[in-house]
């Protein structure tokens, strides 16, 4: 495995020509003389008249023309631009031929010099080197051909504006999937579309946080007024549909409101109110079938972090609306596969009329819920099925309730309270509880071979998992939030880390976050055009809300953002191709998921305001080429909101390759040099807002 990239950016320098810094229109001679003097001196971003135009000059035309590599052509060079271009292309093609001849000649003489005794072993290694050489030369050849080969990717048709690869209900039905499994994630060959997803016709940039938590644009999501009023869950009914907006009212009189409901849950646990959940060891909550996220929206003000998961829906999506409100969410279901979270991930699981039949399939859904719940954690279930007055009159409901109650007891859950339609269980914090059950009790304990710490869409298991994990620590025994973010020496040893490693990682990301904001602040708050009625917020707040970290490692980027006072939440993704530190990330009080980046991320388009990738290109290219860099960047484009930002930190050659591909994606892009490390670069990109034309 390659050495991890240095995690800090102690100094930055924007590479490229500075001819485009200045305004072209100057009205008097004095201003012209000032500009000429400033042209030869080094200037900061804040002193520029037009930093936005400078920052993205690579992919935009100028009066001198821009080459494919992003450098401005020399206006004083001899010959016409066309002749110089032809000479350059001829030189590159001749150079390519010479490289191929020298490489093949050298490899031939090297091969015949090998002794006969080791020839078979060496040949296999040489064969791999030769295949890699051909692949690399092919990439070089494509880049040398310039714009003639790097064509822009076409836009997808209107039917794909809410497209999520790997979720195709009609195709799954045709393959024979049923009983809810047709909504499962199924990533196969050809599941991706080689086009860019456009937003709906009347799409508008979401309102800034926290206003956007309560008000979203109707045109941004796939839902109708009828679906709003016909929905029956708690959080779905707490909305008001206006002409072009949906307004959420967390203090709705229906169902006594989310505030009263969360207060009731706290009292059932034995706490004064929901603000005391932090002191009880609760920080992260998995909200199953979350409606439109109102439960998590309310708890956010109490420093509780709620991850919404719900089934894929072709319309009226719970996940899509929750994300549009700036709240954590992703598509996930209990139908047939384990969730891509480690065992013992969450402090609380919540299900309020979530649509999961916990008594079905011999309780296997409850087993999966138990796997991701931390020792001493809480399972909260609100359903008409739990209402005593209801099931006393309905024998079928009483039978279903009795099954869930008895099965929870076999899982070593303690029923601590039951009020109206809400029941609260507490998972045992002692492993000895499982051995004290009656002999032959179902479900059994998983063997070490079955108990995979971080499964990736593995079939559901019918045994109790997590008991073999080193992270078996009851929530009441660990540090509470926010002290939980800084794990102590003994806790880090569980993950094979020294405290110095986490300290260095945190310090490097603090520097990186300061530098990112120094680059982006002038662009967003100075020259970025205001939208009507939208005021510039005071830095450093409200620049972004939904952030995706594609290679989270220890969660250092998340920690640095919170320490800097950014009002964000971060989806920390740990790639399946790298070291698995996801349990560490979750134990720090953050949220995250395991994912294979050669597959589509389980969420709707236009989900994130910022995508961050530190060392991901190095990690993925060190593996066998299962997918291309263009596949990865196209997926980022699908996940990114219009006017959203991408920050990629990696080795210089990989950054240059990625920058060349941004032409195809129509991104504004700029390479930034890191003064403390000449081998690495930053690639800063912004996705333009392309509007689909309305059809008559």
Q: What was the pLDDT predicted at 541? A: 46
Which tokens belong to 576? 């399946």
Q: What was the pLDDT predicted at 36? A: 46
Q: For the sheet containing 546-549, what is the strand order?
A: 12-14, 668-674, 677-686, 640-651, 608-614, 546-549, 569-575, 591-595
**DSSP SS3 for 165:** coil
Q: What was the pLDDT predicted at 193? A: 78
Contacts of 179 (CB under 8 A, 6+ apart): none
What proportions of the chain, in percent to the nearest 5, are helix, strand and coil?
40, 15, 45
Q: Report the run of H or E that residue 640 belongs to, with start and end.
A: strand 640-651
The CATH number of 254-436 is which of 3.30.30.60, 3.60.15.10, 3.90.950.10, 3.40.50.150?
A: 3.40.50.150
Contacts of 489 (CB under 8 A, 6+ apart): 498, 499
Q: What was the pLDDT predicted at 13? A: 56
Residue matched to tokens 């849950």: 265
User: Across-strand partners of 571?
Assistant: 548, 591
Query: What is the rounded (10 degree) CA torsion for 58, 64, 68, 69?
Result: -60
Burial class (CB in 10 A: 0-12, 13-18, 19+), 277: buried
Q: What was the pLDDT predicted at 437? A: 94
DSSP states of 647-661 as a string?
EEEEEHHHHHHHHHH
User: Per-domain residue ranges for the chain?
Assistant: 254-436, 480-527+538-687
DSSP 159: G
Helices 629-639, 652-665: inter-axial angle, 10-degree rounding: 60
Q: What was the pLDDT predicted at 328? A: 97
Three-state SS string over 92-149 comes to HHHHHHHHHHHHHHHHHHHHHCCCHHHHHHHHHHHHHHHHHHHHHHHHHHHHHCHHHC
Is-contact 592 582, C-beta < 8 A?
yes
**Taking CA 248 as the corner, what is the angle to CA 247 and CA 254, rounded to the nearest 5 degrees?**
125
Is-contact 557 516, C-beta < 8 A?
no
Mean pLDDT by groups of 10 residues along the chain of 696 residues:
45 45 36 44 34 42 36 40 69 75 62 39 37 44 49 91 86 72 77 87 90 90 69 52 73 60 96 95 96 91 95 84 95 92 97 94 97 98 87 84 96 96 96 93 94 94 94 93 93 90 94 89 53 47 84 97 92 96 97 95 96 96 81 96 96 96 95 88 94 65
- Rounded CA-CA distance 474/309 in Å is 24
How, if at all, do strands 608-614 and 668-674 pair?
unpaired
Q: Report the run of H or E that residue 214 belongs to, with start and end.
A: helix 211-214
- Rounded CA-CA distance 50/522 in Å is 9
How, if at all, do strands 569-575 and 591-595 pair?
parallel
Is-contact 607 644, C-beta < 8 A?
no
- Rounded CA-CA distance 358/669 in Å is 49
Residue matched to tokens 């899982």: 411
523 alpha carbon, distance to own chain's centre: 24
Q: What was the pLDDT predicted at 589? A: 97
Other CB atoms within 10 Å distance of the CB of residue 204: 17
Is-contact 233 353, C-beta < 8 A?
yes
Q: What was the pLDDT predicted at 677? A: 80
- Rounded CA-CA distance 558/555 in Å is 5
Contacts of 123 (CB under 8 A, 6+ apart): 111
Nearest residue to 312 (alpha-carbon basis) of 548, 639, 640, 602:
602
Contacts of 690 (CB under 8 A, 6+ apart): 155, 198, 199, 642, 666
Q: What was the pLDDT predicted at 20? A: 35
Considering the entire predicted model, what is its pTM? 0.79
Max intra-chain CA distance, the chain: 94
Q: Is the domain 480-527+538-687 a CATH 3.40.50.150 member?
A: yes
User: Across-strand partners of 245?
Assistant: 217
Is-contact 68 660, C-beta < 8 A?
yes
Residue matched to tokens 């109490």: 302
Q: What was the pLDDT predicted at 66? A: 36
């Amino acid at each position: 495995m390659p050495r991890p990239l240095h995690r800090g950016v102690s100094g930055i320098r924007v590479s490229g020509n500075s001819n485009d810094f200045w305004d072209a229109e100057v009205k008097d001679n004095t201003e012209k003389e000032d500009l000429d003097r400033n042209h030869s001196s080094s200037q900061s971003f804040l002193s520029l008249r037009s930093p936005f135009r400078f920052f993205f000059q690579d992919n935009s035309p100028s009066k001198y023309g821009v080459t494919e590599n992003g450098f401005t052509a020399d206006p004083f060079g001899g010959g016409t631009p066309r002749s110089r271009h032809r000479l350059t292309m001829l030189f590159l093609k001749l150079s390519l031929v010479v490289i191929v001849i020298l490489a093949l000649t050298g490899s031939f003489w090297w091969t015949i010099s090998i002794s006969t005794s080791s020839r078979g072993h060496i040949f296999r290694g040489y064969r791999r080197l030769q295949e890699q050489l051909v692949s690399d030369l092919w990439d070089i050849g494509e880049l040398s051909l310039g714009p003639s080969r790097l064509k822009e990717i076409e836009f997808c048709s209107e039917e794909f504006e809410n497209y999520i690869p790997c979720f195709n209900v009609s195709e799954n039905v045709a393959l024979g999937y049923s009983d809810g499994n047709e909504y499962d994630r199924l990533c196969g060959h050809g599941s991706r579309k080689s086009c860019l997803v456009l937003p709906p016709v009347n799409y508008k940039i979401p309102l800034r946080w926290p206003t956007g938590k309560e008000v979203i644009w109707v045109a941004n999501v796939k839902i109708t007024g009828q679906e709003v009023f016909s929905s029956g869950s708690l959080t779905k009914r707490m909305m008001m549909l206006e002409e072009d907006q949906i307004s959420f009212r967390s203090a709705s009189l229906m169902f006594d409101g989310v505030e009263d409901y969360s207060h009731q849950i706290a009292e059932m646990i034995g706490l004064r109110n929901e603000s005391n959940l932090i002191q009880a060891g609760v920080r992260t909550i998995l909200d199953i079938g979350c409606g439109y996220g109102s439960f998590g929206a309310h708890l956010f003000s109490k420093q509780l972090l709620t991850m919404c998961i719900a089934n894929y829906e072709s319309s009226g999506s719970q996940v899509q609306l929750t994300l549009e409100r700036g709240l954590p969410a992703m598509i996930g279901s209990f139908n047939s596969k384990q969730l891509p979270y480690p065992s013992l991930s969450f402090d609380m699981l919540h299900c309020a009329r979530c649509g999961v039949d916990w008594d079905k399939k011999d309780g296997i859904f409850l087993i999966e819920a138990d796997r991701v719940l931390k020792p001493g954690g809480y399972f909260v279930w609100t359903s008409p099925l739990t209402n005593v007055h209801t099931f006393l009159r309905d024998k079928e409901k009483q039978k279903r309730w009795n099954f869930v109650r008895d099965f929870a007891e076999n899982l070593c859950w303690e029923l601590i309270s039951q009020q109206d339609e809400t029941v609260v269980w507490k998972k045992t914090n002692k492993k000895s509880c499982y051995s004290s059950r009656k002999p032959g009790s179902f479900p059994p304990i998983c063997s070490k071979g079955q108990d995979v710490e971080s499964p990736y869409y593995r079939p559901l298991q019918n045994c109790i998992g997590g008991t073999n994990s080193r992270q078996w620590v009851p929530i009441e025994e660990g540090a509470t939030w926010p002290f939980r973010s800084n794990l102590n020496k003994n806790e880090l040893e569980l993950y094979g880390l020294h405290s110095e490693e986490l300290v260095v990682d945190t310090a490097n990301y603090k520097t990186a976050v300061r530098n990112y904001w120094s680059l982006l602040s002038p662009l967003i708050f100075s020259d970025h055009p205001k939208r009507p009625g939208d005021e510039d917020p005071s830095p450093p707040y409200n620049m972004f809300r939904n952030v995706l970290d594609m290679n989270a490692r220890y969660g250092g980027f998340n920690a640095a953002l919170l320490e800097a006072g950014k009002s964000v939440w971060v989806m920390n993704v740990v790639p399946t191709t790298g070291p698995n530190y996801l349990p560490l990330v979750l134990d720090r009080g953050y949220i995250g998921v395991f994912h294979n980046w050669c597959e589509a991320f389980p969420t709707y388009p236009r989900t994130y305001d910022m995508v961050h990738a530190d060392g991901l290109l190095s990690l993925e290219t060190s593996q066998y080429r299962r997918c291309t860099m263009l596949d990865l960047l196209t997926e980022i484009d699908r996940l990114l909101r219009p006017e959203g930002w991408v920050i990629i930190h990696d080795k210089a050659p990989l950054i240059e390759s990625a920058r060349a591909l941004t032409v195809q994606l129509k991104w504004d892009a700029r390479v930034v040099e890191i003064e403390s490390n000449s081998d690495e670069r930053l690639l800063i990109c912004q996705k333009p807002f392309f509007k689909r034309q309305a059809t008559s």
